[in-house]
Amino acid sequence: MKIIYITEVNLDIPSGVLFKMNAQIDEWKKCGHDVYVVSIPCQITTGGKECLTKSAAGAFIFIHPFVRTTKNIALFNLGNKILSAGRYKNYIQSINPDIIYLREMIAYPGVGRLLNKHKVIIENNTLLSEEVKMGSRSLLKMYQLFQHQINDNVDGFIGVTNEISSHYKHFKKPVTTITNGIKLEHTNTTITPSNVRAQLILVGSPNMTWHGMDKFQRMAELIPEADFHLVGEDVPNNNLSNFFSHGYLEKDDLMQLYTKIDVAVGTLALHRKKMYEACPLKVRQYASLGIPLIIAYNDTDFSGQNFVLQLPNAEDNIYNHVSEIKAFVRNWKGKRVSLSAIEPLISSTAKENQRLAFFTHIINQRN
């Protein structure tokens, strides 16, 4: 089949989301399908595609001249989407896809015209209706006014957790749950750290309070015998000698840091956006390297695994569970989880076969 993958992700900057997309496209290509990527970027970009997998049959990014030189992210985001809608529509029509796979985004005026003549499946990675309330008022208004243009034109929903999937069942359209997977072809879980002091890491993103980076810093205060590494955001005025703020790290630098880590920490404050279940890509990357995990939510794939410490999804989950955290870190310090234990849980191959089967179901349902 011919698949068009529509995303807001920049194709010229490495990211966890693009890593996932590339893995999906690689698997679909292995199964004999042609995949064309349409990037409608929400962040300022040069329009390059050098970080996109070579498995893609084609890619289309158009930056309108009116916004090409602006440094205003909001103007670039909305202005380019509206002004370039005709170009994107023409490209999609020229491919004439069997299915459009849309990574969920906040809708904008005219987005429905890109979708309404094709079969469309949307991938829902969050409860967007809740997350958008934590952003700017303008984004919330956009969601309220235009999101129906996407949902009304969708033929099926894929949620990455059962919680997310259940949110879309009221549309009375096919819904399935397929958790995030990861390629395991080049992972190595045999390299174990040999630290005097336990080393913990959390990889987060700026302005995403549900990641719980403040809680991670609180953990460092309460467990001074271990060292804590925060990646993704700089923390000013840090007075803790055991807390290291690395800011953004390139992939090679991050992978080098991972070799020294005893325990990796996932999302600690999902309750802040009224969610209780998740399957973050960063946690799957931790696990693919055999690193034991501390999380504070229900993970669709890792429930009940002995290499996972699941804290309550509550505001006081660090302060009230210091003894459990210390015991878990002591037990797993200098150890790795075997690849044979990880692969059945998160390998992308089985998950993408399930996704392709859902594509076929949607195509046949409408014929």
pLDDT of residue 295: 97
Q: Tens digits of per-residue pLDDT, 312-333?
A: 999 999 999 999 999 999 999 9
Q: Mean pLDDT, to the nearest integer, of 225-243?
A: 92
Domain ranges of the chain: 2-182+348-366, 199-345
Q: Find out if CATH 3.90.1150.10 is the number for domain 2-182+348-366.
A: no
pLDDT of residue 46: 75
pLDDT of residue 7: 94
Q: Tell me the HSE value of 265 on the side-chain side, using a 13 A CA sphere.
A: 30
Whether the domain at 2-182+348-366 and the domain at 199-345 fall into the same CATH topology = yes
Q: Mean pLDDT, to the nearest integer, of 293-321?
A: 95
Assign 188 a pLDDT band (cuts: 50, 70, 90).
Answer: low
Lowest mean pLDDT among 233-237, 310-314, 358-362: 233-237
3-state SS record for the chain: CEEEEEECCCCCCCCHHHHHHHHHHHHHHHCCCEEEEEECCCCCCCCCCCCCCCCCCEEEECCCCCCCCCCCHHHHHHHHHHHCHHHHHHHHHHHCCCEEEEECCCCCCCCHHHHCCCCEEEEECCCHHHHHHHCCHHHHHHHHHHHHHHHCCCCEEEECCHHHHHHCHHHCCCEEECCCCECCCCCCCCCCCCCCCCEEEEECCCCCHHHCHHHHHHHHHHCCCCEEEEECCCCCCCCCCCEEEEECCCHHHHHHHHCCCCEEECCCCHHHHCCCEECCHHHHHHHHCCCCEEECCEECCCCCCCCEEECCCCCCCCHHHHHHHHHHHHHHCCCCCCHHHHHHHHEHHHHHHHHHHHHHHHHHHHC
Q: Tens digits of per-residue pLDDT, 278-292?
A: 999 999 999 999 999
Assign 180 a pLDDT band (cuts: 50, 70, 90).
Answer: very high
pLDDT of residue 71: 82
pLDDT at 367 over 80: no
pLDDT of residue 73: 82
Assign 260 a pLDDT band (cuts: 50, 70, 90).
Answer: very high
pLDDT at 186 over 70: no
pLDDT at 185 over 80: no
Lowest mean pLDDT among 37-41, 135-139, 250-254: 135-139
Q: Which of 106-110, 230-234, 236-240 has the highest mean pLDDT?
A: 230-234
199-345 folds as Rossmann fold (3.40.50)
Assign 259 a pLDDT band (cuts: 50, 70, 90).
Answer: very high
pLDDT of residue 113: 85
Lowest mean pLDDT among 15-19, 57-61, 228-232, 360-364: 15-19
pLDDT of residue 261: 97
Mean of pLDDT over the chain? 91
Q: Mean pLDDT, to the nearest integer, of 345-358?
A: 93
pLDDT at 190 over 80: no
- This prediction has a pTM of 0.81
